[in-house]
Amino acid sequence: MTDASGGTIAPDVRIAVDDLRVRAGEEPWTADELKDVARDLAADADRLQAELEQADAGLTDLLRNSGDGAGDDQADSGSSALEREHELTLVNNTRDLLQQTQHALDRIRSGTYGLCESCGEPVGKARLQAFPRANLCVECKQREERR
């Protein structure tokens, strides 16, 4: 199996599962659990890449056609500008989510998946199963959001 960036998943998971730390009271990761997470992330990356390509094409069309209709009134111009802004926001959000997904896959391959990138403590297996892209533990995420 390959991920969105073309890297193989299965061999990397076998290496990384033994190194994954969990929070106190959590069961250790199994190879199957980590493979499931990696498979889901790879599928998400493929889906997001396709969405990004489609959204980029839509945005390109909107930008290309933004000069058309020289006789448009201000309401039409405003509506077009709002539509372009909305499409640009969707493209940026999709791009960010794809980057987070690819980063999570890279962390699985490197054996650093599940460790908080701020404090180095385990993110928590339950948190990662609910949100596999998480790269901060709950405490560090809360601290980041307060800033």
How confident is the model over 25-35, as pLDDT tens digits?
999 999 899 99
Q: Which residue has the higher pLDDT, 72 or 106?
A: 106
One-letter identity of residue 124: G
**Host domain of residue 115:** 10-146
Question: Does residue 3 belong to any structural domain of this protein?
Answer: no
Per-residue pLDDT band at 11 (split at 50, 70, 90) = very low
Q: What is the mean pLDDT of the chain?
A: 83
Q: How high is the pLDDT of residue 18?
A: 75
Question: Does residue 16 belong to any structural domain of this protein?
Answer: yes
- Across-strand partners of 8? 2
Question: Does residue 33 belong to any structural domain of this protein?
Answer: yes
Q: At what angle do helices 74-110 and 31-64 cross, to 10 degrees?
A: 150
pLDDT of 117 > 60? The answer is yes
Of 29, 25, 11, 16, the closest CA to residue 104 belongs to 16
Number of domains in the chain: 1
* CATH number of the domain residue 120 falls in: 1.20.120.910
> Token pair for residue 138?
């709950």
Lowest mean pLDDT among 13-27, 45-59, 104-118, 121-135: 13-27
Tally of helices (H runs) and strands (E runs) in the chain: 5, 0
Question: Does residue 101 belong to any structural domain of this protein?
Answer: yes
Lowest mean pLDDT among 48-52, 71-75, 86-90: 71-75
**What is the rounded CA–CA span in Å between residue 135 and residue 9?**
19
Question: Does residue 1 belong to any structural domain of this protein?
Answer: no
Q: How high is the pLDDT of residue 131?
A: 95
**What is the rounded CA–CA span in Å between residue 111 and residue 45?**
19
Per-residue pLDDT band at 111 (split at 50, 70, 90) = confident
Question: Does residue 121 belong to any structural domain of this protein?
Answer: yes
Q: How high is the pLDDT of residue 50?
A: 94
Question: Does residue 5 belong to any structural domain of this protein?
Answer: no
Q: How high is the pLDDT of residue 61?
A: 75
99 touches 133 (CB < 8 A): no
Round to the nearest angstrom and report the end-to-end CA distance of the chain: 40
For the whole prediction, is pTM greater than 0.75? yes
